[in-house]
C-alpha cells in the first residue's frame, strides 16, 4: 500500500530558487517539504567557478555553493525528500502529487522550482569539456575568457546578445550558424555584426570540440560543401535554447510555447495556489541571483495565499 501524507507547502526542485523558498518558508513557520530528484543545487552544482554571486570576493565552485545552501536549509530544519514528481493534479484547491517511489502527497500550496537545462549539441568533446571551456552562459563564464578566442554557436536573440557581450571581453568571437542569416531581431543583428572582433561563419555547423583538459579548438563544417576546417579557440559558448523541466505540470498551469511556466515577479501561475520560481518561469534573466529572489518572492506569495484563505493554521 502506497504512503500518503499532507504537507501545507511542497517545493519541487532543490536549486537556488527551491532552497531559498525552503529557507524562507521554515523561517516563516510554514510546515513544508522539498522534493529534489538529484543533488541539491541544480545547474549551480555543475558550475566550475562562480564569480558573480554577491558576498564571495573569491571565486567559489558550484558544488561548494550548493552545499552551503543545502546546509543552511538543513540547519533550519528543512525536510528533504529525494524523489521525482511524476504528476500533479488539482482537486479543488488541493494539489495531489504523485512521486516515483509510490508516495502520494497532497498540499495546499505548491512552488515549482525545477529549473531548466541547456539544449546540447551532442557533438564530440561537448560533455567531456563542459565546465572546462564549454559553457552555456556568457554572463556566468565570459569573464574567464578575457582577451581569448571563443566560438559561439547559435543564431537567435540569445546567441546574438551573448555574442555581443562576449565580444567586449574576448579578443576574437566566431559565431557559428547553420543558416545564411540570423533568426534574431534586426536591431540585435545590427549590433552583433557591427562588433569589429566578431566574425560570422554562415552556413556552418560545429562538428567537434577539441582538447584534452580544456578547449583547444573546434572543427567546423560547411553545410553546403561538406568542407571541414579547424579554429583555434579557448572557449565554446552554446546557445541553441533551453528545456524547462515542466512535463509534470502540463495541463495544470499555463505554459509558453517553449514550455516555461507563465508567472510574473509575484511567481503566481494560472493555477490557484501554484507558484513558479527560478529558471522554470518566464523571465528576462536566468541567474543565481534572480532565482534566489524568486524563491523569497514565492514564499511571500504563499503567505498571502494562506492568509487570504484562512489557512494560517497550516503553520507549524
Q: Which of 107, 108, 141, 279 is catalytic?
A: 141
DSSP 160: H
Which one is catalytic: 91, 100, 108, 137? 137
Strands (E), the chain: 4-12, 32-36, 80-82, 85-91, 94-99, 104-112, 116-118, 134-135, 149-153, 172-176, 198-201, 204-210, 217-222, 228-231, 235-238, 242-244, 274-276
**What is the enclosing helix (H) or strand (E) of 301?**
helix 288-308
* C-alpha cell, 234: 579557448
Is 247 designated active site? no
CA 208/CA 96 separation, integer angstroms: 45
Nearest to 89 by CA among 280, 246, 252: 252
User: Which of 37, 39, 55, 36 is closest to 47 using CA atoms?
Assistant: 39
Rounded CA-CA distance 260/118 in Å is: 13
Helix-then-strand count for the chain, H and E:
6, 17
Strands 217-222 and 204-210: antiparallel
The b/e string for 290-301 (b: 16+ C-beta within 10 A; e otherwise) is bbbbbbbbbbeb
State the Cα–Cα distance between residues 299 and 315, nearest whole angstrom.
Answer: 13
CA distance 160 to 38: 32
Out of 140, 160, 210, 294, which one is annotated catalytic? 140
Active-site annotation holds for 160: no
Q: Taking Cα atoms as reference points, which of 230, 184, 241, 191 lies closest to residue 207?
A: 230
Please say whether the beta carbons of 289 and 93 come within 8 A.
Answer: no
Active site residue 141: yes
Q: Which residues are catalytic?
A: 137, 140-141
Amino acid at each position: 500500500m502506497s504512503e500518503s501524507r499532507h504537507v501545507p507547502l511542497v517545493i519541487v526542485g532543490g536549486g537556488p530558487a527551491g532552497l531559498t523558498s525552503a529557507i524562507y518558508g521554515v523561517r516563516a513557520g510554514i510546515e513544508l517539504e522539498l522534493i529534489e530528484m538529484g543533488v541539491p543545487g541544480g545547474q549551480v552544482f555543475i558550475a566550475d567557478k562562480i564569480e558573480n554571486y554577491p558576498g564571495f570576493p573569491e571565486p567559489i565552485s558550484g558544488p561548494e555553493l550548493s552545499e552551503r545552501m543545502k546546509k543552511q536549509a538543513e540547519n533550519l530544519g528543512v525536510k528533504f525528500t529525494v524523489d521525482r514528481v511524476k504528476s500533479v493534479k488539482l482537486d479543488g484547491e488541493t494539489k495531489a502529487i504523485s512521486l516515483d517511489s509510490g508516495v502520494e502527497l497532497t498540499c495546499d500550496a505548491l512552488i515549482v522550482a525545477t529549473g531548466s537545462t541547456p539544449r546540447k549539441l551532442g557533438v564530440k568533446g561537448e560533455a567531456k569539456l563542459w565546465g572546462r571551456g564549454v559553457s552555456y552562459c556568457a554572463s556566468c563564464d565570459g569573464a574567464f575568457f578575457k582577451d581569448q578566442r571563443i566560438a559561439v554557436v547559435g543564431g537567435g536573440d540569445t546567441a546574438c546578445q551573448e555574442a555581443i557581450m562576449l565580444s567586449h571581453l574576448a579578443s576574437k568571437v566566431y559565431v557559428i550558424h547553420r543558416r545564411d542569416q540570423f533568426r534574431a531581431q534586426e536591431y540585435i543583428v545590427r549590433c552583433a555584426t557591427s562588433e569589429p572582433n566578431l566574425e560570422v561563419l554562415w552556413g556552418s555547423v560545429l562538428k567537434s570540440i577539441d582538447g584534452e583538459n580544456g578547449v583547444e579548438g573546434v572543427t567546423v563544417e560547411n553545410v553546403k560543401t561538406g568542407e571541414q576546417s579547424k579554429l583555434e579557440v579557448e572557449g565554446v559558448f552554446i546557445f541553441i535554447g533551453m528545456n524547462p523541466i515542466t512535463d509534470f505540470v502540463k495541463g495544470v498551469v499555463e505554459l509558453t510555447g517553449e514550455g516555461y511556466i507563465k508567472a510574473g515577479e509575484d511567481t503566481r501561475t494560472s493555477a490557484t495556489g501554484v507558484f513558479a520560481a527560478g529558471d522554470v518561469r518566464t523571465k528576462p534573466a536566468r541567474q543565481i541571483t534572480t532565482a534566489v529572489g524568486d524563491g523569497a518572492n514565492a514564499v511571500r506569495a504563499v503567505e498571502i495565499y494562506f492568509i487570504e484563505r484562512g489557512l494560517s493554521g497550516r503553520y507549524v
